Structure 1
Amino acid sequence: MKYVVGCTEDKRGREAISLALVLAKSLAAPVHAEIELVHIIRGAAPGDALSGSERAYQDFQLHSAQKWMDRALALVPSATTGRTHIRFADSMAEGLLGAVSEFKADLVVVGAASTGPFRRFTVGSTANALLHVSPVPVALAPSGYLPPREITRITCALGTRTGAESVLEVAVDSAAIRHVPLRLVSLVALDSEAHKDKGTDWARTHARQALDRAVEGVASRTIVTADVAQGRSIEAAIEGLEWDESEIVMIGSSRLAARSRIFLGSTANKMLRVLPVPMVVVPRFHVPVPAAASLAHI
């Protein structure tokens, strides 16, 4: 497994590193993760600068970034493979996507915008761009994220639209390889206007059907449970659920997403406003790289 981590010289960068390390640490042998710490400097590389002043400024940023990235690398335990990279690009999102392609990464990890409320998400420009075009899952660390010693549960939010099966498959494999329980949350009752008149019983039926599929897919590798999120709004439903501070949430992409690409839908956007734990958004019809396909997804 290979994780690209968007590193910035602030708490957002440290929170992204913390989440990547927790995800990596939770993997069970023989699977392991390599951490690629990537810092993006906006603009041209010094050698491509159009003026002397621009060249001097980009050189200054490069030297400053190298010092900070050395400190970032020191956060990676010796038992985990970690490397630092500094790239020049027009935007952080563009640079991170280039790194994902270059390193054939399985996951990209970023932090919430620095203006976000404690333990909540405010999606900044970088995360927003990644959440609409990334070809690999995107993991988001909430503002104020305090990394637990280990991941204790994975929650998977499911709907009924085409493509829901792919996020279920990713969640099942991710929970199994970490030997942690998987909780399925049905958002069907809140999914669209068409489902509102079907009521909670219909939503519970859907949750049970999803549970049965997951139990079959997990092949006794972990415990699977199901729950139904209910409330006047998606935000209220999410807040009404019980959350473990050491869990992560997985959700699929909108039906508007191109195949094997992320597009954050309205449900996920509303979840982000109140979710107190990290979220992993999975591309539509996600297919992992062959080397990791039989072992894990994130």
Structure 2
Amino acid sequence: MTSHVVVGYTATKTGRDAVAFAARLARATGAVLDVSIVLPSADRSVITPPADGYSRVLLDQAQKWIAAAIDRIPDDVVAHAHVRAAESFAEGLVEIADGLDAAYIVVGAADGASRGHHSLGSTTTELLHSSDVPVVLVPRGARKVAPETGITRVTVAIGTRPGADALIGAAADLAEAAGVAVRLLSLLPVDLPATADTAAIRIAGSTEADQVLAAARAELPAGMAASVVVAAGDSIEDAVAHLDWQGGEVVLVGSSRLAQPRRLFLGSTAAKMLKEITVPVIVVPRTARSAGAATPEETQR
């Protein structure tokens, strides 16, 4: 069955970032790329003129924007255009993704993000609270990465909460489709309360991390190339900042345990990681959908 990658597009630099990475993801996984623009519905805003003429002009402009976006996509990526009216940008993307049984929804950073960094705006935050599809967060400047870079490595952040096997399975599926290796990452030694920052606890955390990573590696398909790394640093942000990131890398993190079933919620650990990660991050729901390519559960808070 053909997989789909839905990307939310706006005629901005961050919108082009999102499309550029989504094209690399679609090419690497053999998926169809669905470039989507969401327009305001007629009753969404009291300041939006309700006249049919205005709606036609807006639709015509959206079609021009989306055509220009698709023109920049490599010829070997199958791309479809979608223009939909909805109460919000996030709602429209979720509706499109649900209709296509999409594997991912891809969005760019909010305005104001510096190059190579993530920034969550109100639209992305709403999407993370409403989507039952894995959401890909793309950092500013991703359009500068050469299309032929593709996906070069899949890093999955492993925690200790139930559901790690599902998250590992999702990472393995992506790595297998892209033909790349998996890197298993643990932040256990630095993911500690400030009041528990002692050498003894950190040593114990390192030991537990080794055990968790060994168990995670055993869950990967036989023969799949994999490496393990235990992050070290004075804080989560410090530890993540000292990790190496490839230009074509993606990171998978699990949704918070606070999320409702089949919904996303960015937990505290993932939020701290996001401040330092310079590559796209895929946030996955804590419970599986009834169908779809990526169905991991939470492994992080």
Which TM-score band applies after superposition, normalised by the shorter structure? Answer: 0.7 to 0.9
Deviations 1:206-259 (A, max 9, x none): 333333334333223421111112222211111021221221111001010122
How many equivalent residue pairs? 287
Q: TM-score normalised to the size of structure 1?
A: 0.87
Q: What letter corresponds to residue 63 of structure 1 in structure 2?
A: D
Q: 1:40 to 1:55 in 2, by over 3 A?
A: same
Q: Kindly report structure 1 stretches of 4+ aligned residues shifted beyond 4 Å.
A: 49-53, 194-198
Contact 1:120 1:275 in 2 (8 A): yes
The reply on whether 1:173 has 2:170 as its aligned counterpart is: no
Q: Which residue of 1 aligns with 2:224?
A: 222
Q: Which residue of 2 aligns with 1:37?
A: 35
* Corresponding residue SS for 2:189: helix
Q: Which residue of 2 aligns with 1:187?
A: 187
Matches within 5 A, 1:173-252: 173-193=173-193, 196=197, 199-252=201-254
Q: Which residue of 1 aligns with 2:154?
A: 154
Match of 1:21 among 15, 20, 23: 23
In 1, distance between residues paired with 2:185 and 2:103?
24
Deviations 1:67-93 (A, max 9, x none): 111111222333322110111112101
* Corresponding residue SS for 1:189: coil
Contact 1:189 1:195 in 2 (8 A): no
In 2, distance between residues paired with 1:66 and 1:173?
34
Q: Which residue of 1 aligns with 2:14?
A: 12
Q: 1:206 to 1:184 in 2, by over 3 A?
A: farther
In 1, distance between residues paired with 2:153 and 2:141?
20
1:50 CA drift (Å): 11
Q: 1:242 to 1:105 in 2, by over 3 A?
A: same
In 2, distance between residues paired with 1:116 and 1:213?
37
1:55 CA drift (Å): 3.0
1:282 CA drift (Å): 0.8
In 1, distance between residues paired with 2:169 and 2:259?
18
1:196 CA drift (Å): 4.8
In 1, distance between residues paired with 2:125 and 2:50?
32
In 1, distance between residues paired with 2:65 and 2:254?
34
Q: Which residue of 1 aligns with 2:72?
A: 75
Q: 1:104 to 1:204 in 2, by over 3 A?
A: same
Q: 1:25 to 1:76 in 2, by over 3 A?
A: same
1:293 CA drift (Å): 7.2
Contact 1:140 1:278 in 2 (8 A): yes
Contact 1:131 1:263 in 2 (8 A): yes
The reply on whether 1:105 has 2:102 as its aligned counterpart is: yes
Contact 1:172 1:217 in 2 (8 A): no
Unaligned runs of 5+ in 1: none
Q: What letter corresponds to residue 279 of structure 2 in structure 1?
A: V
In 1, distance between residues paired with 2:92 and 2:98?
10
* Corresponding residue SS for 2:127: helix
Contact 1:158 1:164 in 2 (8 A): yes
Q: TM-score normalised to the size of structure 2?
A: 0.87
1:274 CA drift (Å): 1.6
1:147 CA drift (Å): 2.7
In 1, distance between residues paired with 2:10 and 2:49?
26
1:52 CA drift (Å): 6.9
Q: 1:51 to 1:153 in 2, by over 3 A?
A: closer
1:166 CA drift (Å): 2.2
Q: 1:172 to 1:119 in 2, by over 3 A?
A: same
Higher mean displacement: 59-68 or 158-167:
158-167
The reply on whether 1:130 has 2:132 as its aligned counterpart is: no
Contact 2:188 2:205 in 1 (8 A): yes
